[in-house]
Amino acid sequence: MKVTSFGLFWRAEEIEWFPGQGNRNEFRLLGRIGKNRPGIRVADFRRQQGIYILFDEYGPAYVGLAKGDRLGARLRDHHGDHLNGKWDRFSWFGFNPVGAASDDHGVLSLIQPRRDVTEDTSTTIGDLEALLIAAMGPKLNIQKMRFDGAEKWEQIAQWEWEETYQAKVAPTD
């Protein structure tokens, strides 16, 4: 698989994991590229597939794999299993590209990766190396993290979405 998007050290406290009945669309893993129009892009990564790493105050605590469209569900599950309370940040590395289509709020959706890209072994090996460098941050590693064609997304906290970014990406009539 080819890493197409990633987020580093997102804060778990910035996500509404259990929004309650009637608010199911409030649970999102929102990320952004840019801050203002015209270049800002916002995407929801809760249905991403890929690899994630949970961090505690000392560093990496758990590595997991989200198959299918389960990144958000897997992370939410860890608030009710043996890892509950043992992590406060996470990094993720996703295989589904961000599409051009957006919802009514201007949030971009994910698309399935192309078959020919997923079978490119040299890209996969290079991306896995970049993933390990990004996740572990080894002090003696000179090689910089470079994913072939991947975009880094910054986390959007729920309050930021409501107060700032929702208005910036909403379709204009």
pTM, entire model:
0.75
Model confidence at 144: pLDDT above 80: no
Helix (H/G/I), strand (E/B), else coil: 164: helix
pLDDT above 80 (res 42): yes
pLDDT averaged over the chain? 83
Work out the percent of the chain whose per-residue pLDDT is above 90: 34
Q: Which domain holds residue 65?
A: 5-169
The structural domain count of the chain equals 1
Asked if 54 contacts 91 with a C-beta cutoff of 8 angstroms, the reply is no
Q: Give pairs for 23-28: CB < 8 Å, separation 24+.
A: 26/158, 27/72, 27/76, 28/72, 28/107, 28/161
- Average of per-residue pLDDT across 91-109: 90
Q: Give just the sign of the alpha carbon dihedral 29, 149, 119, 112.
A: positive
Region 20-41 average pLDDT? 84
- Who has greater pLDDT, 172 or 42? 42
